[in-house]
Structure 1
Amino acid sequence: MQTNLYFVRHAHSTYTPDELGRPLSERGFSDAKTVTDLLKREAIDFVYSSPYKRAIQTVEGIAAYINKEINELDGFKERILAEEPVEDFEVAITKVWQDDDFSWEGGESNRVAQQRGVNATFNVLERHLGKNIVIGTHGNIMVLIMNYFDNQYGFDFWKELEMPDIYKLSFNEKKCIDIQRIWGGNYGNSSLS
């Protein structure tokens, strides 16, 4: 019985230092409508999201369309890069992707963040076998989850992601058998069977 998880990287947001409450920008809201329209074709059964406002706002349209509450799951929140804002984001993010066990002070290593995201993914799979589930999330944690199932999804892939972006991961039980991009284009499509 196939289960499909639609990982939705949030749409463009208006930058504020408040990670939890940062809202979508005007462009982000417009793109979120497109996300809803694309997902309407996919017979969605449930919607999950990171507790971050920008992730919730990106998937709230499809939740409203199927008349279901959004289930917030901490496992899908963005990876914590460091406790304090980093001086040079490019240097900081490159370093954690070069060494899976390295973390900046107060931050999560790739391995720790990936395990958190994969545990949340398995939790959703166990609850909703054979269903189609949308997951509102963030770029880094989404790619770390995808990387667990197929290591072609790494740092270079993350740098090419759009805001928003949608990837459908199809599972047979807990085995990922296919990954497809839904948002458009063909970058990163793979078949794992």
Structure 2
Amino acid sequence: MKVERIISSPYTRAIQTIQPLANQLNIEIEINNQLAERSLSSIPFSDWFEKLRATFDDFHLKYEGGESSQEATGRIVSVVNTVINEGGENTIIVTHGNIMALLLNFYNKEFGFEDWE
């Protein structure tokens, strides 16, 4: 498949993951902050796993300094819709596990926390 565009999260590990392909294809990586991983909270939780699970059950649940599942979904769906509207059918979008799971859930409501896990 021909790749014409690569859009990536600003996180180093995302860029480092796609950089070899970008180099091979001679394509510049576009950085998009909307593709950054979702922040669950600004407070560290010892039970973060259960708190994350709860956000898949209640998409409006939001912890202090964090993003709800609904907000994070809106952010990544916005990127995908922009790419589609620009005719970007040959675009690679590089992001992270939790926000990608939310994107997949947007298109397939059966995709949930256990699938992310």
* Bin of the TM-score, shorter chain as denominator length: over 0.9
Pick from 41, 49, 53: which aligns with 1:94? 53
Describe the superposition over 1:64-105 as per-residue Cα deviations: whole angstroms up to 9, x where unpaired: 111111011111111110012222221221111111100111
Pick from 110, 117, 120: which aligns with 2:79? 120
- Aligned partner of 2:91 in structure 1 is 133
What amino acid sits opposite 1:86 in the alignment? F
Instruction: Give the structure with the larger strand fraction.
Output: 1
Count of equivalent residues = 117
Q: TM-score, normalised by structure 1?
A: 0.58
Instruction: Give the structure with the larger helix fraction.
Output: 2
- Aligned partner of 2:109 in structure 1 is 151
Taking the aligned partners of 1:116 and 1:131, their CA distance within structure 2 comes to: 19
Pick from 15, 20, 23: which aligns with 1:61? 20
| Alignment pair present for 1:44 and 2:30 | no
Aligned CA-pair RMSD = 1.2
Q: What stretches of structure 2 of length at least 5 have no aligned partner?
A: none
SS at match of 1:131: coil
* Aligned ranges 1:6-85 → 2 under 5 Å: 42-85=1-44
Taking the aligned partners of 2:96 and 2:58, their CA distance within structure 1 comes to: 20
Taking the aligned partners of 1:97 and 1:130, their CA distance within structure 2 comes to: 29
Q: What stretches of structure 1 of length at least 5 have no aligned partner?
A: 1-41, 160-193
Runs of at least 4 residues off by over 3 Å: none
> CA 1:130–1:104 in 2, change beyond 3 Å: closer, same or farther?
closer
Identical amino acids, percent of aligned pairs: 36
